[in-house]
């Protein structure tokens, strides 16, 4: 059965997305609670109810804001694959990026996009030169921000697509599929999306996140990721009597950031090149903390970047001998490609399903991470499929509705491949 969403499904998909993005679910990196913000549960509660309305009677939200649900297999007892199809999980995350506001999102809709630059506000223009994928979306329906907030396509596009797929499967019982588990997580944007996720209880054999970007993307590799915290302890005295006494931790922090080799920064790297990214510096004369993201596709390169950071700290320490400088490295996640290679059919079947949806698969590595990275190391192999959004984390975020539609169709086709190959 060739999967095609009709105009009603297309409208429902857009309506769902617009409804979800208007709920503020911004996570908070500085919070120690789980979820990091209670408002994430506002969307989780809604999704649990909508899943129950779609017939997923076991849909529930737990204390951490995770939503889980089951759609049973619909194969007849005499079907050759009955009882043999693995349980497939479909996942997306409810939270939005912690550093850009997701409150009072005002989605702007363009029907039949003509291929020109888009004036999203008096001060901001979404240019084709800076957004070459716009040229691939002529005649599409585009949804973008008003330039004051992010849009939330990361990952509410993925949520809307999964919900629309469930509705489509219920309406099309002739399309046979194996057992499905649905999961919506919290705090993905701060690297804690699977912190309290019970893989054994979720009970899926393989899974996919719908959290990618461009049409056709199937991502089976992520960065290996560590987080480095550099803590500088100085000594504060009255500046009028500071000679040979004051140790300004702010100056030491500035020297460390300046000393990081420019060729190792995210703004100077691309493709499979690793980077160091100092993204938060906070403190005062007495104590300053620098948070640094360390990213690489291999553990070897990760260690080399960390060694560079350590050498920078050592050199700056010689310049400021009275300052105390400490580095703490915390592992975040590892390249899920190492795990997926151990059982590549989860990738192969996805590629086949994408082709059946009439889309050219775009296999690539994520210069970032998804819940799937940690889930793969927790025993649930989880490649990432596109959801359609562009300019994630930005007030210039946008999404193509047609790319979202194709994500739904391709995911359904993937489910069909699992039945065939079982």
Q: What is the spatial distance between Cα 162 and Cα 67, in angstroms, rounded to a whole number?
A: 13
Cα-Cα end-to-end distance for the chain: 17
Instruction: For 328, list phi and psi in degrees, rounded to 5.
Output: -120, 125
CA-CA distances (angstroms) from residue 326 to 281, 290, 293, 364?
A: 14, 10, 16, 36
Bridge partners (DSSP) of residue 278 are 292
Q: Is 32 a catalytic site residue?
A: no
Q: What is the spatial distance between Cα 157 and Cα 217, in angstroms, rounded to a whole number?
A: 14
24, 50, 95, 221: which is the annotated catalytic residue? 95
CA-CA distances (angstroms) from residue 56 to 61, 351, 415?
A: 13, 28, 18
Structure tokens at 376: 């793969």
Is there a contact between 144 and 134 (Cβ–Cβ < 8 Å)?
A: no
50, 161, 188, 371: which is the annotated catalytic residue? 188
Parallel/antiparallel/unpaired status of strands 362-365 and 217-221: parallel
Strand, coil or helix: 41: helix
Q: Is 219 a catalytic site residue?
A: no
Bridge partners (DSSP) of residue 290 are 230, 281
The catalytic residue positions are 95, 188
């Amino acid at each position: 059965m060739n999967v095609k969403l009709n105009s009603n499904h297309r409208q429902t998909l857009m309506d769902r997305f617009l409804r979800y993005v208007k709920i503020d679910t911004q996570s908070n990196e500085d919070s120690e609670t789980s979820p990091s913000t209670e408002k994430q549960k506002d969307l989780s509660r809604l999704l649990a109810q909508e899943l129950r309305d779609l017939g997923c009677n076991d849909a529930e939200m737990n204390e951490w804001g995770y939503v889980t649900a089951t759609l049973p297999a619909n194969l007849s007892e005499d079907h050759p694959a009955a009882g043999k199809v693995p349980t497939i999980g479909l996942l997306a995350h409810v939270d939005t990026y912690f550093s850009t506001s997701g409150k009072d999102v005002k989605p702007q809709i363009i029907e039949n996009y003509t291929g020109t630059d888009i004036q999203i506000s008096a001060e901001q223009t979404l240019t084709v030169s800076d957004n070459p994928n716009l040229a691939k979306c002529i005649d599409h329906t585009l949804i973008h921000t008003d330039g004051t907030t992010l849009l939330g396509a990361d990952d509410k596009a993925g949520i809307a697509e999964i919900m629309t797929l469930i509705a489509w499967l219920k309406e099309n019982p002739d399309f046979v599929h194996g057992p499905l588990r649905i999961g919506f997580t919290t705090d993905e944007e701060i690297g804690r999306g699977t912190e309290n996720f019970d893989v054994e209880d979720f009970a899926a054999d393989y899974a996919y996140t719908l959290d990618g970007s461009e049409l056709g993307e199937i991502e089976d590799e992520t960065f290996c990721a560590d987080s480095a915290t550099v803590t500088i302890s100085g000594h504060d005295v009255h500046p009028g009597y500071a000679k040979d006494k004051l140790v300004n931790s702010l100056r030491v922090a500035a020297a460390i950031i300046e000393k990081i080799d420019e060729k190792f920064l995210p703004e100077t790297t691309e493709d499979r090149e690793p980077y160091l990214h100092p993204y938060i510096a906070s403190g005062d004369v007495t104590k300053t903390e620098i948070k640094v993201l360390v990213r690489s596709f291999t553990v070897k390169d990760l260690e080399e970047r960390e060694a560079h950071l350590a050498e920078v700290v050592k050199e700056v320490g010689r310049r400021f001998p009275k300052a105390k400088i400490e580095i703490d490295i915390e592992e975040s996640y590892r390249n899920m490609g190492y795990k997926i290679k151990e059982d590549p059919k989860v990738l192969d079947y996805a590629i086949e399903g994408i082709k059946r949806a009439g889309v050219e698969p775009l296999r690539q590595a994520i210069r970032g991470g998804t819940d799937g990275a940690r889930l793969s190391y927790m025993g649930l192999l989880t490649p990432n499929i596109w959801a359609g959004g562009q300019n994630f984390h930005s007030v210039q975020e946008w999404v193509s509705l047609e790319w979202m539609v194709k994500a739904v169709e391709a995911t359904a086709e993937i489910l069909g491949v699992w039945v065939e190959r079982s």
